[in-house]
């Protein structure tokens, strides 16, 4: 199956290109992840989001390499994103961390390497993702993200990644980074769904030629609790009925139309197909108003344990 021809191809500020819709893989664990990435390639996805922290880079790599072997895709057809976890922020560790991810994938480059969070942790071992101190609190480091970024710039020179970007940065952190960077971030990946639609941050990033990727685009649906409301409310279902789409598809379409790149996670074949099938309808201004009405600003991922860091990103409006 070829790439879904309707997915927009976005030109990044460093001249590279990225498919404007991707597959998330957080919590896609052993067995499921490889199959899901294979199913997604068959469904026309060409953009895959993972992270060292997700411990599934090897599975993503296996699925991609199998599809290359089968002649379905070439390496150049896919856009692979991974991320530097917080315990690797010391500039001395960055190259090694990226090489570890590449080894996990079994690939010689990724398309985009993101700094996962602006704050770092102390290093206590590659697999100690949340090192703790004697009081049981996560051990925050004081490494400045600008120093981490400078080390990430070298990864581009080394050919280990085509592009570099950030995740979970606020507007002030982005401007501070931009004023110090030799290579501009192409990307800021942030939590973005109807309850936290991030319109101000999207505009801020657009003005600086930085693409915003929407993580948790579906708000991590919980059918037992019927949360989030925008997935389970009749109002959104009714909009979907008009176009023969589900509430999830309406939400993903809304995110595309407000200027974000959604990366919904699914390991379910039907949902993988369903989620990317959103490029044949358009929401009206009235329907946008309905979706906008869910914007309470509430976060699913506040990362409270890092509030004491001077690089904690969620103390300002956006």
Which residues participate in the annotated binding site for substrate?
116
b/e burial code for range 10-37 (CB count within 10 A of at least 16 → b): bebbbeeebbbbbbbbbebeeebbbebb
Interface region with ligand NDP, contact rule CB under 6 A, candidates 152-160, 178-186, 270-278, 286-294: 270-278
| Omega before 228 within 30 of 0, i.e. cis | yes
Residue 291, binding choice from ligand NHF, ligand NDP, none, Cβ under 5 to 8 Å by partner class: none
Binding site: residue ranges? 116
Indicate the residue whose CB is closest to ligand NHF: 26
- The answer to whether 54 is a known catalytic residue is yes
Nearer to ligand NHF (CB atom), residue 53 or residue 79? 53
Nearer to ligand NHF (CB atom), residue 50 or residue 274? 50
Query: CA triplet 191, 195, 199: central angle to 5 degrees?
Result: 65
- Shortest Cβ distance from residue 156 to ligand NDP (Å)? 20
Listed in sequence order, the residues at least 6 apart from 243 whose beta carbon sits closer than 8 Å to its beta carbon are 249, 250, 281
Q: Under the criterion CB under 6 A, does residue 138 sit at the interface with ligand NDP?
A: no
Q: CA-CA distance, 217 to 129, in Å (whole number)?
A: 24
- Shortest Cβ distance from residue 245 to ligand NDP (Å)? 10
- Shortest Cβ distance from residue 15 to ligand NDP (Å)? 24
CA atoms within 13 A on the CB side of 201: 29
Q: CA-CA distance, 136 to 181, in Å (whole number)?
A: 35
> Would you give the binding string for ligand NHF spanning residues 274-303, x where CB under 6 A is met?
---------------------------x--
Q: Under the criterion CB under 6 A, does residue 51 sit at the interface with ligand NHF?
A: yes
Contact between residue 160 and residue 109 where contact means Cβ atoms under 8 Å apart: yes
Q: Dig out the tokens for 179 from the structure.
A: 């004023």
| Catalytic residue, candidates 45, 52, 54, 294 | 54
> Would you give the binding string for ligand NDP spanning residues 103-132, x where CB under 6 A is met?
-------------x----------------
Closest CA to 251 of 240, 266, 243, 242: 240
Nearer to ligand NHF (CB atom), residue 73 or residue 81? 81
Sign of CA dihedral 18, 43, 238, 214: negative
Residue 265, binding choice from ligand NHF, ligand NDP, none, Cβ under 5 to 8 Å by partner class: ligand NDP
State the residues that interact with ligand NHF by CB under 6 A: 26, 51, 53, 116, 301
């Amino acid at each position: 199956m070829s790439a879904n021809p309707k997915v927009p191809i976005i030109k990044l500020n460093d001249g590279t290109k990225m498919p404007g819709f991707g597959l998330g893989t957080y919590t896609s664990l052993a067995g499921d992840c490889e199959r899901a990435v294979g199913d997604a390639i068959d469904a026309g996805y060409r953009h895959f989001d993972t992270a060292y922290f997700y411990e599934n880079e090897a599975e993503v790599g296996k699925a991609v390499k199998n599809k290359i072997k089968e002649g379905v895709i070439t390496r150049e057809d896919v856009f692979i994103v991974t991320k530097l976890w917080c315990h690797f922020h010391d500039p001395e560790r960055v190259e090694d961390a990226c090489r570890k991810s590449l080894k996990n994938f079994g690939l010689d480059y990724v398309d985009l390497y993101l700094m996962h969070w602006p704050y770092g942790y102390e290093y206590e071992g590659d697999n100690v993702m949340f090192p703790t101190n004697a009081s049981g609190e996560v051990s925050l480091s004081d490494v400045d993200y600008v120093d981490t970024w400078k080390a990430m710039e070298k990864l581009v020179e080394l050919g280990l990644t085509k592009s570099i970007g950030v995740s979970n940065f606020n507007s002030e952190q982005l401007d501070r980074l931009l004023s110090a960077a030799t290579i501009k971030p192409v990307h800021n990946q942030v939590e973005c769904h109807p309850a936290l639609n991030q319109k101000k941050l999207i505009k801020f990033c657009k003005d600086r030629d930085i693409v915003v990727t929407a993580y948790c685009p579906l708000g991590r649906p919980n059918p037992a609790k019927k949360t989030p409301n925008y997935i389970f409310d009749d109002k959104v279902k009714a909009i979907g009925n008009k176009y023969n789409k589900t509430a999830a598809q309406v939400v993903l379409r809304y995110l595309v139309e407000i200027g974000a790149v959604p990366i919904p996670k699914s390991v379910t074949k039907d949902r993988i197909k369903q989620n990317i099938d959103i490029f044949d309808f358009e929401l009206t201004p009235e329907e946008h108003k309905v979706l906008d009405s869910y914007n309470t600003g509430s976060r699913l991922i506040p990362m409270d344990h890092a509030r004491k860091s001077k690089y904690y990103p969620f103390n300002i409006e956006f």
